[in-house]
Homo-oligomer: A and B are copies of this chain.
Amino acid sequence: MLIVQKYGGTSVGNTDRIKNVASRVAKYHAKGDKIVVVVSAMSGVTDNLIKLAKDIMPLPSERELDVLLATGEQTTIALTAIALHALGIPAVSMTGAQAGIVTDGVHTKAKIQNISPKRIHDLMNQGNVVIVAGFQGQTIEGQITTLGRGGSDLTAIALAAALKADLCQIYTDVDGVYTADPRIVSSARKLDEISYDEMLELASLGAKVMQSRSVEFAKKFGVVFEVRSSLNENPGTIVKEETKSMEGIVVRGVSLDKNQAKVTLVAVPDKPGVAARIFKAIGDANINVDMIVQNISHGSGKPATDLSFTVDKPDLLKAQKVIDGLKKEIGYGEVIATDNIGKLSIVGVGMKSHSGVAGKMFETLAREGINIDMISTSEIKISVVVDLARGEQAMKAVHAAFLPA
C-alpha cells in the first residue's frame, strides 16, 4: 500500500511527539507499506514567526512572510527524518519545492497548480519514507509560497491524488468526525464514514476538523481520506464519495455555531434591487454573510419586507455601520442587531430521499419550548437560528431525536 499520512502542529509539537510520529510511521513501514509523511510546523512556531515579522512592520510583505513561514515546516521535516533514522528507517525530507509542489503566485494563500511526483516516487522506490513539508510550495519561477490556513491538509490530499495513494490519513488531536461536539452532547458518537458533502457542510458549520477547501479538493479528485487521532490507535472517520448505503441515514451530524450574529432590517421597501444594494455594500466591506432570510413585513401600509442575515460575530459592528450608511438611500424602518444567537444545523445526504425531516426538527424544538428565529435549508442541511442561551439544549434535543443512543 502507498499511504500518505499528515500530522498537524500538535502532533509534532516537541521532539518527544516527533519521536511518537516516527514510531507510528515505523509500524506501517514494518508492514511493507510505502509512506509519505506530510508535517506541519511545530505548534506555536508559525505564530512566533508572524510575531517577529509584525514586531518589525505591522503589515509585512506577503512574499517575505512566505519565505519566513516556510521555515516552520522545513524544521519539522528534518527533525522527523532524523527521528526515523533513529529507529533505523531510511527517510528523506523534502521541502514543498523539492517535492515538486507547484503553486500560483498568490502569496500566503497560494493554490496548488501541479505536483510532479517523480522525485518522491524515486525516493520511495529506493526504500525511503519521504517526509514532505506541508503548507508550502514554489511558483514556476522559484518563489516560495504558502497555502494559507489548513494548508498542510491540502498538501496531503493533493499528494495522495498525485501519487495515486491507496490511503490518506489525516492525523489530528480528535478521534474523527462526531455526530455532534462530544463536549456538549455526551451521547455523540464517532462516525465510521461520512460523505464529502456532509463533511463540507459540517466543516463550514463550526465542526472545525478540517478546512473546507481541503475537503473540496479531495472531492474533486476523489481522494478517500481518514481523519483519525495521533494520540491512540483507534480507527477514525473515512471521508469519501456518497454511496447508496449512506442515504439510509437521514441525519449524519448536528452542529452548533456560536460565532454568528444577526442583523434584521425591518420594513425594507419591497422593490427590485434593494437586496442587491445591501449585500453589495456588505461584500465591499469584506464581510462574509452566511444565512439570508427575507419575509413579508406586517404592520405597514406600503409593500415592505423584513430582511435578516447573519455574519461572523467580530464583523457585527462593521455590518451595522454599513447598514446605517444605507438608511437614507434605502429608507428601511429600523435595524435590530444581536450577537446573542446560535445556529443549529443538521446535515445528512439521506435528507434528499426522506421527507418530514424539517418538520421533525421544528417539532422537537417546539417541544423544548425553543423559539426559531430564522430558517435556512439546502439539499442536505437544515439550519435554524435560536437564542444563544438555548443553543446547547436545542442541540441535545435534536441529536436525541435524530441520532438516539
Chain A interfacial positions (CB closer than 8 Å to B): 15, 18-19, 49, 52-53, 55-57, 60-61, 63-65, 67-68, 70-71, 74-75, 77-79, 81-83, 85-86, 92-93, 95, 98, 142, 144
Contact partner of A85 (CB less than 8 A), chosen from B49, B61, B142, is B61
A78 touches B74 (CB 8 A): no
Q: How many copies, total?
A: 2
B98 touches A79 (CB 8 A): no
The answer to whether A71 and B75 touch (CB under 8 A), given A56-B15, A56-B86, is yes
B83 touches A56 (CB 8 A): yes
A67 touches B93 (CB 8 A): yes
Closest 10 CB pairs of A and B: A68-B78, A71-B71, A57-B86, A67-B78, A15-B55, A64-B78, A60-B82, A64-B81, A71-B74, A56-B82
A78 touches B57 (CB 8 A): no
Most buried by B among A67, A75, A95: A67
Name the CB-closest residue of B to A86.
Answer: B57
A78: chain B residues at CB < 8 Å are: 53, 64-65, 67-68
Task: A18-B56, A57-B83, A68-B74 are known; give 14 further A-B pairs, CB within 8 A.
Answer: A15-B52, A15-B55, A49-B75, A52-B75, A53-B78, A53-B82, A56-B82, A61-B81, A64-B81, A64-B85, A67-B81, A70-B74, A95-B144, A98-B142
Name the CB-closest residue of B to A19.
Answer: B56
CB of A305, distance to nearest CB on chain B (Å): 49
- How far is A19 from B83 in the complex, measured between Cα atoms in Å? 37
- How far is A92 from B301 in the complex, measured between Cα atoms in Å? 64
Q: List 17 A-B contacts (CB under 8 A).
A: A18-B56, A52-B75, A53-B79, A56-B86, A57-B83, A57-B85, A60-B82, A61-B82, A64-B78, A67-B78, A67-B95, A68-B74, A68-B79, A68-B82, A71-B74, A74-B74, A95-B144
- How far is A71 from B93 in the complex, measured between Cα atoms in Å? 14
CB of A79, distance to nearest CB on chain B (Å): 6
CB of A68, distance to nearest CB on chain B (Å): 4
Name the CB-closest residue of B to A70.
Answer: B74
B85 touches A77 (CB 8 A): no
Most buried by B among A55, A71, A74, A144: A71
CB of A41, distance to nearest CB on chain B (Å): 10
A86: chain B residues at CB < 8 Å are: 56-57
A83: chain B residues at CB < 8 Å are: 56-57
CB of A16, distance to nearest CB on chain B (Å): 9
B52 touches A64 (CB 8 A): no
The answer to whether A85 and B67 touch (CB under 8 A), given A49-B75, A78-B53, A79-B53, is no
A82: chain B residues at CB < 8 Å are: 53, 56-57, 60-61, 64, 68
